[in-house]
Amino acid sequence: MNWEFIASLTGVEVFGISVANWFLAVIAVLVTFLVVRAGIGFIVKNLRRRTEKTGSNVSRISLEVLSSTSNALLFLGSFLVGVGVLDLPERWSSRVSSLWFVVVALQIGLWLNRAIALALLSYFRKHRQPDVYSSSALATLSLVGSKVFLWAVIVLAMLSNLGVNITAFVASLGVGGIAIALAVQNVLGDVLASLSIAVDKPFEVGDFIVVGSLAGTVEHVGLKTTRIRSLGGEQIVMANAEMIGSTIQNYKRLQERRIVFEFRLNYGCTAEQVKQVPARVEEIIRKQKMARFDRSHFLSFGESSLNFETVYIVLDPSYNVYMDVQQAINIEMMEAFAEMGVEFAFPSRTVYVASLPMPQDDPENEGYKNLRYSSSRGAPLQ
């Protein structure tokens, strides 16, 4: 009875195809989907065990890639298998073969897209410097560029398989790309500048930099702008192209600070005291643990002072350390010079004025009298 019923179905047709053939197609779709899904699940399970056991980066990436398999594309592929079971006309068979290429290309594209993202992320995590944000401009540009190139190739391959003349299509894209590039040349300039920053690395996130009159700590390097937190607390946003075109001082990469400072003593110092001053300054600097003495000299005769110049090296790049060392040196110099009996000079100018001839009956003058004035005090010195 059942066999007779099945035999009777072979004579019934839907859209020119027997019901039995439709039934076999549905069975093929379900079996293909379940078998392929089970096979992928088995491979994923084994890869997960291997990853947990060995911690291999390749196994982890393979696991993530296979886990991203699209069920929709898998079902569509299974559906095409079922369609292949049907007794279709020749023109439909060619179209099904084209759809096969589209489905396979899309799934391969998804796998490669996931693999590229994971590989680049792993690479930049491995090679990044400590305390530097991992999503740098180079990582972002590399990821975006590789994905655009991948999907462009896949789309062109699918269009070519479907019979589209991709030569004319690529040519039109080239003309359109030139027009778009001219329209957004400023934006592209900033994007290329961000690539230059990422490759050349004049600064990185966390560096303290000075650009022209602006100074602060780099917080973020984006595709178009770089954000800097100034000493005052506000955020400064600068275009990448503008930063690349400016002179950048990066204090984060400072290893030592070379300090040159001057001090002035008054002209009341004797020659012997002048000889002792550089030696006392050297002794004071050598007491500092974070400083290395270089030199100290009597530099020149100033307009109202004896000028000395001293050079030393701060062994730590921190600005606070430098200020602590300089403060300690200044205080000890004040104490040492007080013991030596020498004084720091203050800005002053001594002027000698020759007056007009005095009356002849003045017995205390011979015609001229010299008066000495101090510009700092504003009164004649007796």
Domain ranges in the chain are 2-127, 186-250, 257-340, 350-381
CA 351 to chain centre: 60
Enter the tokens of residue 126: 């491995």
3-state secondary structure of 202: coil
Q: Is the torsion defined by CA of 123, 125, 131, 133 positive or negative?
A: positive
**pLDDT of the residue at 374:** 43
One digit per residue, the tens of pLDDT, for the chain of length 382 reads 454 555 455 555 555 566 666 677 778 878 888 888 888 888 888 888 887 777 677 777 777 888 778 788 888 877 777 776 666 666 666 666 677 777 888 888 888 888 888 887 777 777 665 444 444 556 676 777 788 888 888 887 777 777 777 676 666 666 666 666 555 566 667 777 777 777 778 888 888 888 888 888 898 888 788 899 988 889 989 888 888 888 888 887 888 889 999 999 999 899 999 999 999 999 999 999 999 999 999 999 988 899 999 999 999 888 889 999 999 999 999 999 999 999 998 877 666 666 645 555 554 544 444 444 444 444 444 4
Q: Which CATH class is domain 186-250?
A: mainly beta
Q: Cα separations (Å) of 15 from 87, 105, 265, 283? A: 11, 30, 111, 106
- CA pair distance 40, 75, nearest whole angstrom: 13
Which helix (H) or strand (E) covers residue 188, if one does? Answer: helix 185-200
3-state secondary structure of 247: coil
Give the residues across from 380 on adjacent strands. 373
Give the residues across from 263 on adjacent strands. 308
The model's pTM is 0.46
Fill in the DSSP letter of residue 259.
E
Could you tell me which of 103, 113, 188 has the C-alpha nearest to residue 148? 113
Do residues 260 and 314 lie in contact, with contact meaning Cβ atoms separated by under 8 Å?
A: no
Backbone phi and psi for residue 183, each to the nearest 5 degrees, phi listed first:
-70, -30
Domain 257-340 in the same topology as domain 186-250: no
Q: From the CA atom positions of the chain, what is the Rg in Å?
A: 42
Do residues 13 and 25 lie in contact, with contact meaning Cβ atoms separated by under 8 Å?
A: no
Q: Which amino acid is at 252?
A: K
Q: Which fold has domain 257-340?
A: Alpha-Beta Plaits (3.30.70)
Enter the tokens of residue 165: 């003349």
Could you tell me which of 369, 363, 287 has the C-alpha nearest to residue 329? 287
